[in-house]
């Protein structure tokens, strides 16, 4: 491939089968070249928001064709929602993930652990942003920060409020030029409002949460990359109500470090930490050194990850076999003519 015949651009939005890319000057509508479209074997082969791509531009730079995706620094993905065993690409080439939880009923340590597993497995630095700090007293906020630091001592946690702008300057100070950040979290935690505050004006629409249960409604409907005035790049993502993972061994190990360290003291090397004698992890749970809910979340994610990975590999194998079958049938028909 002659690289000189292409321009390098970045994907800033994805809309089903079409894309918006930026070549450093303009945002341009783009489609995939046919060869790339039909040779893709899985979602990982398609461009994602944040990807750098090789493209050609036509009609005075108003239309473009994507020919290839350049090697990725990082790739954030999750299991496809529902029973379907596949994965969904969230974004690529992210340096820092802002995991946003609100300090009201949305605050959930087990959900936070799931986000941390996903982020750490992608080799992305996590920072936790606690929104709606105006709803709690300083002491209550400190208590919730302490709960997080008890399980992740070195995790950067920053409370803030979109309402009275408390802590908002501290969030802005986290942004560095030419780095790419993404906003992750459930619907209604204030991600889009935060984005508008970081931009300095209300560009993107927001929605209020339901009063009866504080659950949010989707304001962001697709992933998009926005360049901020400080030259940092921020990817906004739709709220996630389901957060399944698979093949995330590294993320689990780095999120549950104390459990991994304890496992080295188990009597058996292949200890599953479920019912074995001489299990150091189970002993730590019984002694209260590891919270039972955290331990159960670890076991649940471990089982889920293994099951989803096996199911996915099995699915891929069946897809390959079906593909070979189709080729054999077509070859047989051709020979009979």
Name the helix (H) or strand (E) containing 99. strand 96-102
Tokens, residue 283: 């002993």
Looking at the fold, whether 153 and 194 belong to one and the same domain comes out as yes
- Residue 211 sits in a domain whose CATH number is 3.40.50.300
7-11, 80-84, 121-125, 148-152: range with lowest mean pLDDT: 80-84
Phi and psi angles of residue 298, each rounded to the nearest 5 degrees, phi first: -60, -50
* Residues ≥6 apart with Cβ < 8 Å to 69: 45, 46, 47, 51, 52, 53
What band does 24 get if pLDDT is binned at 50, 70 and 90? confident
Looking at the fold, whether 34 and 127 belong to one and the same domain comes out as no
Looking at the fold, whether 178 and 213 belong to one and the same domain comes out as yes
Among the candidates 69, 104, 119, a domain finishes at 69
* Residues ≥6 apart with Cβ < 8 Å to 20: 11, 12, 13, 14, 27, 28, 29, 30
Looking at the fold, whether 189 and 106 belong to one and the same domain comes out as yes
User: Span 171-181, mean pLDDT?
Assistant: 96
The predicted structure's pLDDT at residue 106: 87
The predicted structure's pLDDT at residue 214: 45
User: Span 276-295, mean pLDDT?
Assistant: 95
% the chain with pLDDT above 70: 81
Looking at the fold, whether 145 and 123 belong to one and the same domain comes out as yes
Residue 166 has pLDDT above 70, yes or no: yes
Residue 57 has pLDDT above 90, yes or no: yes
Looking at the fold, whether 289 and 308 belong to one and the same domain comes out as yes
Residue 52 has pLDDT above 60, yes or no: yes
Name the residue range of residue 61's domain. 6-69
The predicted structure's pLDDT at residue 97: 96
Looking at the fold, whether 38 and 125 belong to one and the same domain comes out as no
Looking at the fold, whether 181 and 205 belong to one and the same domain comes out as yes
- C-alpha pair distances (Å), 222 with each of 25, 53, 187, 205, 244: 23, 19, 13, 13, 19
Give the whole-angstrom CA distance, residue 44 versus residue 69: 10
Looking at the fold, whether 126 and 217 belong to one and the same domain comes out as yes
What is the residue-averaged pLDDT of the chain? 85
Closest CA to 129 of 151, 144, 150: 144
- C-alpha pair distances (Å), 265 with each of 251, 281, 301: 21, 8, 22
- Residue 41 sits in a domain whose CATH number is 2.40.50.140
Strand partners, 20: 13, 29
Looking at the fold, whether 92 and 123 belong to one and the same domain comes out as yes
CB 131, CB 103: distance < 8 Å: yes
- Residue 308 sits in a domain whose CATH number is 1.10.40.50
Name the pTM for this structure: 0.83
Looking at the fold, whether 45 and 187 belong to one and the same domain comes out as no
Judge whether 335 lies within some domain: no
Domain count, the chain: 3
Judge whether 180 lies within some domain: yes
Judge whether 332 lies within some domain: no
User: Span 274-297, mean pLDDT?
Assistant: 95
What digits encode the pLDDT tens for the residues 190-235?
Answer: 888 999 999 887 777 665 554 544 444 444 446 789 999 999 999 9
């Amino acid at each position: 491939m002659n690289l000189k015949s292409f321009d390098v651009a970045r994907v800033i939005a994805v809309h089903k089968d079409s894309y918006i890319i930026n070549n450093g000057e303009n945002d341009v509508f783009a489609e995939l070249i046919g060869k790339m479209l039909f040779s893709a074997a899985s979602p990982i082969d398609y461009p994602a928001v944040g990807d750098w791509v090789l493209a050609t531009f036509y009609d005075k730079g108003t239309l473009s064709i994507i020919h290839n995706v350049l090697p990725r620094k990082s790739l954030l993905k999750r299991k496809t929602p529902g029973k379907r065993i596949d994965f969904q690409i969230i974004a690529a080439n992210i340096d820092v993930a802002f995991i946003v939880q609100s300090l009201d009923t949305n605050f959930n340590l087990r959900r936070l652990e799931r986000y941390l597993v996903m982020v750490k497995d992608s080799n992305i630095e996590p920072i936790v942003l606690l929104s709606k700090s105006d709803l709690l007293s300083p002491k209550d906020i400190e208590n919730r920060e302490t709960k997080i630091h008890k399980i992740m001592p070195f995790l950067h946690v920053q409370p803030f409020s979109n309402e009275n702008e408390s802590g908002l300057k501290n969030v802005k100070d986290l942004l560095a030029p030419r780095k790419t950040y993404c906003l992750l979290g459930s619907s209604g935690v204030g991600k889009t409002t935060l984005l508008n505050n970081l931009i300095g004006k209300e560009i993107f629409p927001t929605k209020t949460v339901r009063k009866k249960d504080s659950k949010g409604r989707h304001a962001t409907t697709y992933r998009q990359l926005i360049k901020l005035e400080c030259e940092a790049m921020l990817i906004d993502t739709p709220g996630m109500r389901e957060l399944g993972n698979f093949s995330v061994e590294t993320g689990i190990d780095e999120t549950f470090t104390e459990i991994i360290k304890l496992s080295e003291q188990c009597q058996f090397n292949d200890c599953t930490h479920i019912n074995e004698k001489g299990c150091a992890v189970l002993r730590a749970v019984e002694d209260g050194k590891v919270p039972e809910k955290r331990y159960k979340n670890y076991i649940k994610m471990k089982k889920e990850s293994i099951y989803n990975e096996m199911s996915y590999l099995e699915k891929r194998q069946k897809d390959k076999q079906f593909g070979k079958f189709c080729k054999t049938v077509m070859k047989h028909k051709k020979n009979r003519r």
